[in-house]
Structure 1
């Protein structure tokens, strides 16, 4: 079981010598959610050691160039590498024209494995293998959606209670499948007798947005939140004008939503490496949990399941 974020790029509108345009691959038990493939994503995938075969979803938040200009290269790589499984593409339905332009941006041997899933409205739930992918609108000058991945809730078996009820071996699997099992003494043992609820794990991705209801709905209680922090607080007015967040606002949202691990990304080119500690400090003023300042090619594991 592998659940990790592979960071492919962390710049905002303009790439820098140290940061490529956006690109984030969330690997989750065989599913691969590629969020916002910006320009250069195909090459960054090579550096990160991931391939087109690892992608099962392409999720575009909106159609500003730094979040989508890598789509043609990724599509062509999917075709060139003869990816055989279905790759679903989620993006704002309002940007259908831009998706079509990117999807067919040049002459190349095409592929039939890409299935489009345009999203609209206040919430869209998309089945994605073992998880559900949810899209919610964000606040940006163009139509923009954030995404959330949720594992279904389950139950954690209690060995001591299983032993006390005489449930052993294959009987445990039968109890999990059917909800009841007949114990050796003839009594009926219910799943609730030998287990406790186990919340499913979750991750959320919010790019290019002001603070809004969508941000909070996506981030509520997630194990891993990847969120833009384009500006520092000194540029808060500029952030609001252009539809972005500051690091302090990202930390505030994470704190109010009970996030476990916060990943800051999408940094303006105006800041240098010397400014990076300031992003951590400003986010940390409100959020006391773990904060990761994303860098290109780093891998961030989804926090281990809470017992």
Structure 2
């Protein structure tokens, strides 16, 4: 008897190249998330230097970099993409962001006096919806953060990912935007004892991230953009607070790889 072929499954890897906020530490570089099958990077924090090690995982010689906002811990890694190659071929780097963020990158971060040779092939304005070269669909929604920030949802072959970082707790419209995602990557900078500081600085506590995951019906919650100056005890306390709301919540760290399949 001939065995039936297994149905085709959509498999998507999500790699945390940088999972912290503000400044790098021995454990966490700042935000950079790599989806190799989609040729996609979410934010270009200090963790972006690892893209040189991971370029061979790309399925083409193009890399789309989507920036949520222009704060330095999310964009400085663009300067690390100089001479990015896949094998012997150069990788085309396409940066997508709001007009304000693109202006900050071009006029300040990549000003000739600071970085005279641009590592960016071209820039594209990020709107509410973007179809990537891979066919994946990316949608954006506004977040509440000083200077502005956008959240992201990625859909590809029945797999969905939400990316919410640098924001105060989100409202109903944003929750609807990430409704039912397979994986929610959500900032969780503080524990509950620092809720007032979280609000004043435009960030979230771990418990707030967990409440968002529950409200949106997310299947998995991985928290990131943690305070780099916090202790291990602080992180354990924040994680415990999140798990009171979303029992399987976890903190991501650099090198973590999540695989989603359908």
TM-score if structure 1 supplies the norm length? 0.72
Identify which of 119, 125, 141 aligns with 2:129.
125
How far apart, CA to CA, are the structure 2 residues paired with 1:272 and 1:81?
A: 43
CA contact (8 A) 1:76 1:109 kept: no
Number of residue pairs the alignment of both structures matches: 245
Identify which of 91, 98, 109 aligns with 2:97.
91
Deviates more, 1:223-232 or 1:292-301: 292-301
> Which of the two has higher C-alpha Rg?
1
Shift in alpha-carbon separation, 1:79–1:295, aligned structure 2, 3 A: closer
How far apart, CA to CA, are the structure 2 residues paired with 1:132 and 1:265?
A: 23
- Where structure 2 has 5 or more consecutive residues not aligned to the other structure, the ranges are 1-9
Match of 1:234? 193
SS of residue in 1 equivalent to 2:186: strand
In the alignment, does 2:249 pair up with 1:291? yes
SS of residue in 2 equivalent to 1:63: coil
In the alignment, does 2:72 pair up with 1:65? yes
SS of residue in 2 equivalent to 1:70: helix
Match of 1:264? 223
Match of 1:221? 180
CA contact (8 A) 2:81 2:119 kept: no
In the alignment, does 2:50 pair up with 1:50? no
- Where structure 1 has 5 or more consecutive residues not aligned to the other structure, the ranges are 153-199
**Structure with more contact order per residue of length (Cα contacts < 8 Å, sep ≥ 6):** 2
Superposed CA deviations along residues 100-130 of structure 1, whole A, max 9, x for unmatched, are 134565233866xx3422235xxx1111132
SS of residue in 2 equivalent to 1:140: coil
Instruction: Note the 1:1-307 alignment, pairs <5 A.
Output: 2-27=11-36, 30-42=37-49, 44-46=50-52, 49-51=53-55, 54=58, 56-77=63-84, 82-83=89-90, 86-101=92-107, 102-103=109-110, 106-108=115-117, 114-119=121-126, 124-128=128-132, 129-151=134-156, 200-213=158-171, 215-288=174-247, 290-302=248-260, 304-305=261-262
